[in-house]
Amino acid sequence: MSQTRRERAIVYDAAGRKLSPCPVERAWALLAAGNAELLSQEPLTIRLRREVVRPERVLPLEPRAEGKRLLLHVCCGPCATYPVQRLRAEGFAVTAFWYNPNIHPYTEHERRREALWQLARAVELAVVDQEGYDLVAFFRGVCGHEAFGERCAICYRLRLERTAQVAREHGFDAFSTTLLVSIHQDEAAIRRVGEETAAAYGVAFHYEPFRRGWAERGRLAKAYGLYRQDYCGCVFSEWERHQPKDPSAASHQRSPGQALT
């Protein structure tokens, strides 16, 4: 039986933990990029080359922020749902911040921005919207560093530095990012970049393992009717999902100048 577009692939991480299934196209793209190994074709089963830490439960709330103002960088509407809910429950006065020059194409950028505003209207969330489309800044930053992981760290830094700058200029007590909720992002790299940026700008970085609420994020996004994308955002991740399903074919078609994601 051949895999169809609607079918899902079985996914394990490097430690053998079974993860949520992913679209077949995404699985083949990960194989083509060298980010996973093929375990079985029927049914399609892959193993990632990295561990994905997913705590079994959401920790109980411990209100401690006492009205501190926090600027929350938002990568997309769905990923903002759980962090905003949790931070508010902890006592933070949360303001969302939109700055994502990595998102490609422009229509996708605007669609994700509108999803944030849709959520903001639903939950009465204040938003600082960095208007414009600064795609050139993203390309300048990752030029020569297009490899998966390397470019991601640069992208994290680009967005968190702007967030910290705005937080300092407007007197926020701390800043954070919804990137921390995604099981598809490098949590350790985000935390490292956030803490380095905090030291450079003199504004506290609030780290919290939001990915504990990954399942709740999905439920809330569906409840609010938010647009849910199927790739990270940058042109490299978009390119990845359109690669041939056969990883061996992709490797033969790749030119020397093309970077793997």
Distance (Å, rounded) from C-alpha 181 to C-alpha 74? 11
Distance (Å, rounded) from C-alpha 179 to C-alpha 74? 7
DSSP class of residue 243 equals S
User: 148: left (phi > 0), else alpha (psi -120 to 50), else beta?
Assistant: beta
Write down the pLDDT at residue 54: 54
Question: Which residue's entry shows tokens 């780290």?
Answer: 207
Write down the pLDDT at residue 249: 45
Q: Per residue in 197-247, pLDDT tens?
A: 999 999 999 999 999 999 999 999 999 999 998 888 777 777 766 766 554
Low-confidence residues of the chain, pLDDT below 50? 1-5, 55-57, 247-261
Backbone torsions φ then ψ of 253, nearest 5 degrees: -85, -15
Residue 76 CA, chain-centre distance (Å), reads: 8
Write down the pLDDT at residue 105: 92
Write down the pLDDT at residue 94: 98
Write down the pLDDT at residue 129: 94
Write down the pLDDT at residue 113: 95
Write down the pLDDT at residue 254: 35
Q: State how far the alpha carbon of 82 is from the alpha carbons of 78, 85, 152, 182, 220, in Å.
A: 8, 5, 23, 11, 7
Write down the pLDDT at residue 14: 87
Is the domain spanning 69-224 CATH 3.40.50.620? The answer is yes
Domain boundaries, the chain: 1-53, 69-224
Whole-model pTM: value is 0.72
Residue pair 28/246 in contact by the 8 Å Cβ criterion: yes
Classify 162 as helix, strand or coil.
helix
Classify 150 as helix, strand or coil.
helix
Q: Residue 6: which residues within 8 A CB-CB, separation 6 or more?
A: none
Amino acid at 104: H
Token couple for 232: 């990270």
Classify 131 as helix, strand or coil.
coil
| Helix or strand run (H / E) with residue 44 | strand 44-48
Backbone torsions φ then ψ of 186, nearest 5 degrees: -90, 95
Write down the pLDDT at residue 30: 85
Token couple for 191: 């935390």
